[in-house]
Amino acid sequence: MYTKFMNYNIKDGILLEYTGNEEEVTIPEQVHTIASYAFENCEQLKKINLNRTKRIDEGAFCDCISLESIEFESVESISKYAFYNCFSLKEVELKSVISFIDEQAFAYCVGLKKVEIHMSNLSKHLFYHCKNLEEIQLGKEVESIDLTSFLGCTNIQTIQIDPENEIYDDRGNAIVESKENRLFLGCKNTTIEASIHSIGYHSFQNIKKVKMLEGVQIIEPEAFYQCSQLEEIELAQSISYIGAAAFYQCESLKRIVIPRSIQSLESHTFHGCVTLEELVLEGNTKISPFLFDSFGNDFCILPKNLKIYMKEEAKELPSKFIPFLINGYLEEERYFIKDHRQVVEKYIHTHIQEIKEDILLNCKNPALKEMLVDSFMEYYRTSRQFDRLAKLLNSNHDEFDLNL
The amino acid occupying position 73 is: E
Q: Could you read off the pLDDT of 111-121 as tens digits, one per residue?
A: 999 999 999 99
- Rounded Cα–Cα distance for residues 379 and 349 (Å): 8
C-alpha of 250 from chain center: 10
Residue 141 domain flag: no
**285 close to 307: Cβ distance less than 8 angstroms:** no
Ramachandran bin of 125, using left for φ above 0, alpha for ψ from -120 to 50, beta for the remaining angles: left
Distance, CA of 116 to CA of 216 (rounded, Å): 29
CA-closest candidate to residue 219, choices 179, 246, 187: 246
Which residue range(s) make up the domain with 370? 339-404
Contact in structure between 262 and 240 (CB atoms under 8 Å): yes
The distance of Cα 153 from the centroid of its chain, to the nearest Å, equals 12
Is 392 inside a domain boundary? yes
- Most confidently modeled of 127-136, 270-279, 305-314? 127-136
d(CA 13, CA 33): 7
Task: Categorize the per-residue pLDDT at 300 as very low, low, confident or very high, splitting at 50, 70 and 90.
Answer: low
In a domain, 359, yes or no: yes
Q: Give a yes or no: residue 391 inside a domain.
A: yes
Predicted pLDDT at 331: 44
**Per-residue model confidence as pLDDT tens digits over 377-397:** 888 788 877 677 677 666 654
pTM as predicted: 0.79
Environment class of 149 (CB within 10 Å of its CB; exposed 0-12, middle 13-18, buried 19+): buried
> DSSP string spanning 290-336?
TTTBPGGG--B---TT-EEEETTTTEE-GGGTHHHHHTTS--SGGGS
Arithmetic mean of pLDDT, 280-299:
76
- Least confident residue range of 129-138, 175-184, 282-291, 326-335: 326-335
Give residue 41's region: left, alpha or beta (phi > 0; psi -120 to 50).
left
Report CA Rg, the chain. 29
Please tell me which residue, 360 or 4, carries the higher pLDDT value: 360
Q: What is the C-alpha separation between 357 and 354, in angstroms, rounded?
A: 9
If one counts the domains in the chain, the total is 1
How far apart are the C-alpha atoms of 18 and 64, rounded to whole Å? 12
Q: Is residue 259 part of a domain?
A: no
**Is 135 inside any structural domain?**
no
pLDDT tens for residues 227-256?
A: 999 999 999 999 999 999 999 999 999 999
pLDDT at residue 48 in the model: 94
Q: What is the structure's pLDDT at 77?
A: 97
Q: For residue range 350-374, list pLDDT tens digits in order.
A: 777 777 666 666 666 677 777 778 8
Neighbours of 31 (CB within 10 A): 21
Rounded Cα–Cα distance for residues 50 and 27 (Å): 5
In a domain, 110, yes or no: no
Percentage, residues of the chain above pLDDT 90: 61
**Domain assignment of residue 327, yes or no:** no
- According to DSSP, the residues that pair with 98 across neighbouring strands are none
The pLDDT, as a whole number, for residue 341 is 67
Residue type, 339: D
Q: 10 Å Cβ neighbour count for 10?
A: 20
> pLDDT band at residue 314, thresholds of 50, 70 and 90?
very low
The rounded distance, in Å, linking the Cα atoms of 62 and 109 is 10
